Every structure is written in C-alpha cells, then in structure tokens.
Amino acid sequence: MSAPSDNMPVVEPLVRSKPLLIRHLPYFIAAAILVALAATMRFDGYILNILMQATTFAIAVFGLSVVLGLCGQINLAQAAFFGFGAYAVGLGTADYQLSYWLCLAAGCLLALLAGAVLGMSTLRLGGHYLAMVTISFQQIVTLVMINAIWLTHGPDGVSRIGRPDLFQSSQSYLAFCVAMLALVGYFVWHLSDTRLGRAMRAVRDNELAAGVVGIDVFRTKVAAFALSAVLGGLGGGLFAGGFAYVSPDQFSFAESVVFLTMSLLGGVASPIGSAIGTGLLILIPEWLRFLKSVPGLYLAIYGLFVILIIRYMPDGIWGFVTAGLDRWRTKAKTPPPAGALRLVPATVGGDIVLEVTGLSKYFGGLKAVDGVDISVRRGGVHALIGPNGSGKTTTLNVLSGLYKATAGKILLDGTEITTMPPHQRTAAGLGRTFQNIRLFRSMTALENVEIGAERPGNATIGDGSDDLLTERAMEALTFVGLGNRANEPISSFSYGHQRLIEIARALAANPTLLLLDEPAAGLNSSEKLELHELLERIASQGLTILIIDHDMTLVSEAAQHITVLNFGRRIADGESMAVLRHPDVISAYLGTE
C-alpha cells in the first residue's frame, strides 16, 4: 500500500452540505403520511389484499432494481428468494410456533446466504451463465417446495401463518408493510449515491474500467446479487404474514418473470420506477380479470410486454418520464469553482517507481511479450514505443493486471504486484487510461472522476466523505480544463474531451504511477498540443508517467527516457535522443535496406 507523504495537509471540504437526513426530510414526511393513511383509512378486504400484495411485491422488485438496474446483473430467481422468506415465516410460525420476527430474520438470512452462494459460483462468468443458473435454481427450489413434503407440506402449502402481536389486524399489518417499503425504498434510492452504489453502476457501465479504477468487480456483483436476494426474502416474509397462506405455485418461475416484467415496465434503474411497475402490473390484471380465465394468456401478454418494452422503452415508464422532464428543465447546474489539483504521489520505494524484470506474456505459442525489463525512474515521463504488434499494449495490460503474466516480476514503488488483480494494483498506486476510451457512459463527467477519486488508499480525500470526493473530482476536472462542464453526461463530450476525462479520472486517484495508453490517438493537432502541455503540468508535480504512443513528436518532446519493443522483446532503452538515433530502432521503424 502506498503511504501519504509526511507534509500532507489536513483535508477539509470547502463547502459542507446539510446532513442527509435533513435534506431528505420531505421523503420521510411523505412516507409517514402514507403509513398513517394505510393505518387509518377504511378499506374493504379486496382492496386491502391488493395493497398488501403490491407493497410486499414492490420490496422484491426493489431488489431487482439493485441487481439489474444498478449493477446490470440478471436475476431470474427472485420468486425463489421471495419464497425463502415466505416459507421461513410460514413454516416457522405455523409449524414450530416461533416468533414472527425471528422467522422473518431467518428468512432474510436464508435468502442472503443462498444469494451469496449462487452469486459467488457464477458471477465471475458471463451474464448468460447467471441467467441460466438463476433459472435452474428457481426450478430446483420449486421442485423442493413440491416434493419435500415432510418440510414444506408439498403442493398443499402452508396455512395459518402468524403475524407479530403488535400488528394482528390486517390494517395495522398493512401499515407495518408500508413502513418497511418506505424504509427499503429510501435505502435503495440512496444506495446509488454511496460508494457501493457507484461501484455497482461502474461495473454495469464498463466492467474492465471498473476494475482498473480500483473497484473489486466480483465482490461488487456478489454484493448486489445478495442484496437483491435479501430484499426478495424480506418481501416474501411480509407477504406470508399478510396472506396467512402460501403454496409453491406462488413462487414459481412464472412469478420470477412477473417480478422482472414489473421492474422493466416501471424502469429498472430507480425504485420509483419499480414501484410504478409493481403497482401497474398488480392493478392491470385485476382490471382485466377475464384474461386470467384462459390459462397462460396473461403470462403470454407479459412475455410480449417484455419484448416490446426492451425494444421501444428500454428505460421503462419512469425513465421515459424523467427523460421528458430533463428536456425542459434548465441545464445542469454549473458546479462551484474548484481549487488547484494537488498530486502527491507516494514515495515509499527507492529511486525506481516501476521495476519490471523478465516480463513475458504468451498466448498459446505466440510470444506477445518475451522477457522484457523496464525500469521507470521516479518523476518525469518514460515512453514505451515500438511498431504495431510489438507488444506495447499487451505489456500495459499485464502491468495493470488485465492479463496474467506468463513469467516475470513487477514491483510498483517497492511492492510486488505481479499476481494482484487489477483493483488491488490500483489500490497500490497504479493509474491508467485506455486506448479505446472506457468511461462509465451512463454517468456525468463528475461522477466518473469521483469513482476514480474513491480509489482505496487515496490519501487526498481524507475520510472519503461525499463533499471531499466531489471537491477532489472537481479539482481534477478543472486541471484538465473541463471543470465548468462537470455535470454533463459523457455522451455530450467530444472524443478528445472524453480522453481528458479519463486522464482526470486517473489523476483524481492520486496515483504513484500513471500509465497512458496511446493518449494522442485520434486527437487533432491542437488537441495534441494541449495534451503535451497537460503531460508537462502533471510531470511538474512529481507524478511519474509511463506513456505508450505512436506520435514520435509527442514522445520525443515529452519523454526523457524511452524503451523500445519489437516482436515482444526490448531492443533499446535509454535517454530519448540516444534511443531514437539507435540503428536497431531506426530499422524497426523504417526497415533496413
């Protein structure tokens, strides 16, 4: 781990925002009113049942908005997790006379464990594995519910399910469920702006870049999946208490599909959308009861809905509404001006920041990188050049952990990082940009850079509070000249500016070594000049840069030291001008007679 230098000033945010709870007071007031209404209004039994169903289902659908909406991972077993909660409360209170609260907690815990185990076995693999495994899991749970009669009563289901003493009447129990819904809704709504929520969104937008900015991708996905499972279990536990009877068909694959449709229809990205989708899909079938008289018909319509929503309204109803609102709302607020960016690269090791010895990467028989040594001195700009196919980008990918080295050793500031996954290398002080830009495209420039600033081990953000993060990110954006456009979405920036945002994202993390992968590619000549000037400003603060580029003018002017690769081997290394005059280098670039 890198350590801050001794003269680090104490970080204090410039502006302190009001505490969250006060800013969100209107939400809690509205929620309290809803709970009060649920507790006092007179409903007939039919309406009460519909409200009970909508409330408990919405909690499970909130779970989907976490895993699918925030993190981009599919879960087709939400009904199974819902069933875990429901059967825990059902069997616990009816068969074993246990306390309702104990059963509810056990149900959530069971769902959490099942979700975590399922996620851990599958989430390292591609998304279609997860889809199939969750479907299989759903089928197994249904099989067990029907066949393990000694435990679950089989197809007969569980009846006479208890409620807590405090909420014996249906009306008070509904009020309790609404209160739970409001709490979960607040949690899910707020989650997207927490560290974990940002990590989830980053994983959804660009998994590779998320790893490289310091996010543990696998753990984030498992957390999202487990969280979604817990919310499923919680919804199910409340559901069981509400209806006093559960049976296996209520937790079948068809119900998982219903949950998915609810979430897609309303808008998977936000809890408001989830609530809208749940409400609509519970009410619409009630209005169109005749559809239920033909088995299969209403589910067929759900299937059609799923296809149509995905094609024509990918962000759901709420996404559609907010997009409309954004159009006539005033433009994004210009953020307050920020101070100068301070780069205080850690200095733990000696004179050499990056020491690469005997690094090799083979793809089958192809030796893309073959026994390369590189030592990057502290401070200044070091360039890695070579003709196309010489192994430059492969070297960079091995350095940042996207590829595993076949052989060799990598020391960053005295720490061995050869076998670390990308996010740990980032935590150890490595920053990088990509040749083909990898930003988190659904977020604003500021959010992208904030995620960079959040690097574990970044000493410039103090305790990592939201205010300090924003301030650090604003400084980095201002440093690259885009501070006044911080709140704009990535898609509104030109290619050259997106490159600068990527650099700002890496700088905000206060790295020890910055790897730039062909930063001049695709830039016009004035942008190249700006880039050159930016590199000088970065280097002048003592941050070491390792740059790969084809632009010889940029490389020869900016870099003090050059390493040249050809066919995966190092053919020259040394002070810039000497290397560029080296006959092997000239022949590698221009060919020999």
Partner 1 sequence: MDLALQLLFTGIGIGAVYALVALGFVLIFRATNVVNFAQGEFSMVAAYLMVVFAVDLGWPYWLSFLIALAGMALLGAIFNLGVYYPLRHRTFLPVIIATIGASILLANSVLAIYGPQPQVLEGWFETPGIQLGPVYLDSQYLLIIAVTVVLVIFNYWFFERTMLGKKLQATSQDKEMASLLGISVSSMIMITFIYSAVLGGLAGILVAPILFVSIQMGSTIALKAFAATIIGGFGDVAGAIIGGLALGIIETFGAAYISVPYKDGFAFLVLVAFLVFRPQGIFGERVAEKA
- Burial of residue 507 (number of CB atoms within 10 Å: 0-12, 13-18, 19+): buried
Q: Does the footprint of partner 1 cover residue 32 (CB under 8 A)?
A: no
320 lies in the site for partner 1, by CB under 8 A = no
DSSP secondary structure letter of residue 523? -
314 binds partner 1 (CB under 8 A): yes
Out of 14, 41, 125, 166, name the contact with partner 1 by CB under 8 A. 125
* CB contact set of 232 (below 8 Å; sequence gap of 6+): 60, 63, 78, 79, 80, 81, 82, 84, 85, 111, 115
**406 touches partner 1 (CB under 8 A):** no
HSE (side-chain half, CA atoms, 13 Å) at 329: 8
Burial label, 43 (beta-carbon count in 10 A; 0-12, 13-18, 19+):
middle
The kind and range of the H/E element at 517 are strand 513-517
Interface with partner 1 by CB under 8 A: which range of 69-77, 176-184, 535-543, 570-578?
A: 69-77
Task: Using the CB atoms, write b or e for 124-152: b if 16+ within 10 Å.
Answer: eeeeeebbebbbebbeebbeebeeeeeeb
Q: Which is nearer to partner 1, 147 or 484 (CB)?
A: 147
Question: How many angstroms separate the CA atoms of 445 and 344, rounded?
Answer: 23
Q: Does 393 bind partner 1 (CB under 8 A)?
A: yes
The residue ranges of DSSP E strands in 50-121, in sequence order, are none
Establish if 137 lies at the interface with partner 1 (CB under 8 A): yes
Would you list the DSSP string of 529-582?
A: HHHHHHHHHHHHTT-EEEEE-S-HHHHHHH-SEEEEEETTEEEEEEEHHHHHH-
302 forms part of the interface with partner 1 (CB under 8 A): yes
> How far, in Å, CA of 335 to CA of 333, rounded?
6
Out of 299, 332, 344, 420, point to the residue binding partner 1 (CB under 8 A).
Answer: 299
CB of 308 to partner 1, least distance (A): 8
Alpha carbons 447 and 487: distance in angstroms, whole number: 8
The span of 224-232, 303-311, 317-325, 503-511 binding partner 1 (CB under 8 A) equals 303-311
Least distance (Å) between residue 469 CB and partner 1: 26
Task: Record the tokens describing residue 55, joined without a space.
Answer: 């409330």
Which tokens sit at 487? 């709140």
Q: Of the candidates 139, 357, 541, 560, which one interacts with partner 1 according to CB under 8 A?
A: 139
With contacts defined by CB under 8 A, name the span among 189-197, 221-229, 391-399, 406-414 that binds partner 1: 391-399
**Per CB under 8 A, does 127 bind partner 1?**
yes
Q: Does 140 sit near partner 1 (CB under 8 A)?
A: yes
Does 253 help bind partner 1 (rule: CB under 8 A)? yes
Interface with partner 1 in residues 433-462 (CB under 8 A): 434-435
Answer whether 445's CB lies under 8 Å from 470's CB. no
Residue 257 interacting with partner 1 (CB under 8 A): yes
Name the nearest CA neighbour of 230 among 67, 442, 424.
67
Answer for which of 272, 275, 402, 445 binds partner 1 (CB under 8 A) is: 402
365 binds partner 1 (CB under 8 A): no
- 309-327 burial, b if ≥16 CB within 10 A, otherwise e? beeeeebbbbbeebeeeee
Q: Which stretch binds partner 1 (CB under 8 A): 295-303, 326-334, 374-382, 486-494?
A: 295-303
Q: Is 323 in the site for partner 1 (CB under 8 A)?
A: no
Least distance to partner 1, CB of residue 347, Å: 28
Residue tagged 């070091």 (tokens):
382
Structure tokens at 283: 């009410």
Least distance to partner 1, CB of residue 174, Å: 31
Quick note: the x/- pattern for partner 1 over 82-121, rule CB under 8 A, is ---------------------------------------x
Q: Which segment (124-132, 189-197, 445-453, 456-464) binds partner 1 by CB under 8 A? A: 124-132
Give the shortest CB-133-to-partner 1 separation in angstroms: 7
Q: Does 170 bind partner 1 (CB under 8 A)?
A: no
- What HEC string does 361-420 produce? EEECCEEEEEEEEEEEECCCEEEEECCCCCCHHHHHHHHCCCCCCCEEEEEECCEECCCC
Under rule CB under 8 A, residue 304 binds partner 1: yes
Q: How far is the CB of 129 from partner 1 (least distance, A)?
A: 7
Smallest distance from the beta carbon of 322 to partner 1, in angstroms? 19
Under the binding rule (CB under 8 A), the answer on residue 305 touching partner 1 is: yes
From residue 255, alpha-carbon distances to 61, 357, 525 in Å are: 11, 56, 58
Phi-psi region for residue 72, left (φ > 0), alpha (ψ -120 to 50) or beta? left
Question: Applying CB under 8 A, which part among 159-167, 304-312, 446-454, 565-573 lies near partner 1?
Answer: 304-312
Number of residues that bind partner 1 (CB under 8 A): 52
Virtual CA dihedral for 561, 566, 572, 573, nearest 10 degrees? 30
Shortest separation between residue 72's beta carbon and partner 1, angstroms: 6
Q: How far is the CB of 51 from partner 1 (least distance, A)?
A: 27
CA 159-163-169 angle, to 5 degrees, is 105
Which range touches partner 1 (CB under 8 A), out of 93-101, 102-110, 290-298, 372-380? 290-298
Residue 104 or 437: the one with the smaller Cβ distance to partner 1 is 437
- Which residues contact partner 1 by CB under 8 A? 72, 74, 76, 121-122, 124-129, 131-133, 135-137, 139-140, 143, 147, 207-208, 253, 257, 260, 264, 294-300, 302-307, 310-311, 314, 393, 396-397, 400, 402-403, 434-435, 517
